[in-house]
Amino acid sequence: MKHILNITTAAALSLLLVACGGGKADRGAVADKKAELEKLKGEQKKINEQIAKVEDELMKLDSSYGAAKAKLVALQTIGSDSFQHFIDLQGRIDAVNVAMVSPRGMGGVIRSIHVKPGQNVSKGQLIMRLDNALASQQLQQARQQIAGLEADLKLKQSIYERQQNLWKSNIGTEVQVLQAKTAVEAAASQLAAARAGVGTAQETVNQSNVYAEISGTVDVVNVKVGEVFSAQSAANPQTGIRIVNTGDLKIVVQVPENYLEKVNTGSVLQITLPEANNKVLTTKANAVSKLIDPVSRTFTVEGKIGQDKAIKANQIARVQIRDYASNNAITIPVNILQSDDKGKYILVAVTENGKLVARRKTVIVGELYADRLEVKSGLAIGDKIITDGFQSLYDGQLITEGK
């Protein structure tokens, strides 16, 4: 053991001498020191192997030495387990049915508003009234015109009937009868057009009343009496009124584009709502966009969720999307995995010649989630892995299981 310390000290001094040279060190001298260091490491490894061999022989000759030399470790027997990997993201609750209140015509100046935020409304309920003074005036004019046209048509029909009677009595001419008939048809056409104009004017007046297109809760009211309300301004929540149907909700989450091939329709979504006492919901993705946002480099995933009084639109949610699952996986705590120039390995406990010793096992790992690591190959069900006390163990070292 003293020899090992001397070698280690010599190696450290060699490195210190190189470091002290700083930038002025000769390249040849640096190479020599590196070669010397590698030589010392080789000697140290050889001595460690010799020590292990002598200790093994000594344990065979003296059982008391072996008992004192064995290192206390904690063991865990490998079994088959279910393993799931999730993508941890942040999403938000949104309503499936959301409608912006919009005028049916060109819009106009707001004269009255009949709802407020948080109010429940039904489809067809009056939301606001727009200025209809001009439309009402046009409707009145159209109605007044109807009365004159109806009187004119009645007069011409009377003339036509008289001409027909005279013609039957061989008084007058056929041309006079045809002219009277044509005058009646023209008057009737004018009256029909005027009545259609009244219907159009009435519809224009009706368009000043703005109604709810869906049932739900008024979420946003960003309009005031006296402002102009148009189809363009109504489409913007900052200048309009929004109705949300909270009876049909969904989770919306933006997923990084590198998961595009791993997340599909039907992927399991686990949702945690911090604002609802960490309520946990489980659903499946029913809509997965294949369009990548050029700015955020993400795509949209949606999943329906049931109605719940504790859940509200626009709530923030933690979303875990399951992108991998195995029902018969072998998993280990991630902290026991070690690696060197030969690859990744863990230490297991095996019985040799009636004694428990530590042995190195090279492994190939798969997915990692939380503190569990999937092992694809290198371990088998029933293997005993060393979960505590493995830090300073070497291959072949005698061990004993702690209680």
Q: Give the residue from 211, 231, 254 where a domain finishes.
A: 211
Domain boundary among 190, 211, 232: 211
Higher pLDDT, 211 or 23: 211
pLDDT at residue 59, as a whole number: 63
- The verdict on residue 45 lying in a domain is yes
Is residue 7 situated within a structural domain? Answer: yes
Decide which of 221 and 198 is more confident.
221
Distance in angstroms (rounded) separating the CA atoms of residues 320 and 270: 5
Residues 116 and 45 in one domain: no
For residue 202, is it within any domain? Answer: yes
Give the angle 84-93-371 at the CA atoms, nearest 5°: 25
Same domain, 60 and 125: no
pLDDT band for 1, please (50, 70, 90 cuts): very low
Whole-number pLDDT of residue 45: 76
Question: 129 and 206: one domain?
Answer: yes
Instruction: For tokens 């599909």, name the residue.
Output: 264
Whether 328 maps to a domain, the answer reads no
Would you say residue 143 lies in a domain?
Answer: yes
pLDDT band of 61, cuts 50, 70, 90 = low
Residues 137 and 207 in one domain: yes
pLDDT, tens digit (0-9, with 9 covering 90-100), for 337-383: 999 888 999 999 999 988 899 999 999 999 999 899 999 999 999 99
Structure tokens at 189: 């056409």
Q: What is the pTM of this model?
A: 0.54
Into how many domains does the chain fold?
2
Query: Angle between the 2-21 and 27-61 helix axes, to the nearest 10 degrees?
Result: 170
Could you tell me if residue 106 is inside a domain? yes
Residue 330 has pLDDT above 50, yes or no: yes
Question: pLDDT value at position 18?
Answer: 44
- Report the pLDDT value the prediction gives residue 96, as an integer from 0 to 100: 82
- Domain for residue 180, yes or no? yes
**Same domain for 14 and 113?**
no
Judged against a pLDDT cut of 60, whether residue 23 lies above it is answered with no
Average pLDDT, the chain: 84
pLDDT exceeds 80 at position 203: no
Q: CA 252 to CA 75: how far, in whole Å? A: 44
Residue span of the structural domain in which 177 resides: 101-211
Q: What's the whole-number mean pLDDT along residues 234-241?
A: 87
Lowest mean pLDDT among 69-78, 128-137, 208-217: 128-137
* DSSP secondary structure string for all residues of 65-110: HHHHHPEEEEEEE---EEEEEEEEEEEEEEEEEEEE---SSS-EEE
Average pLDDT estimate for 319-343: 92
Residues 205, 127 share a domain: yes
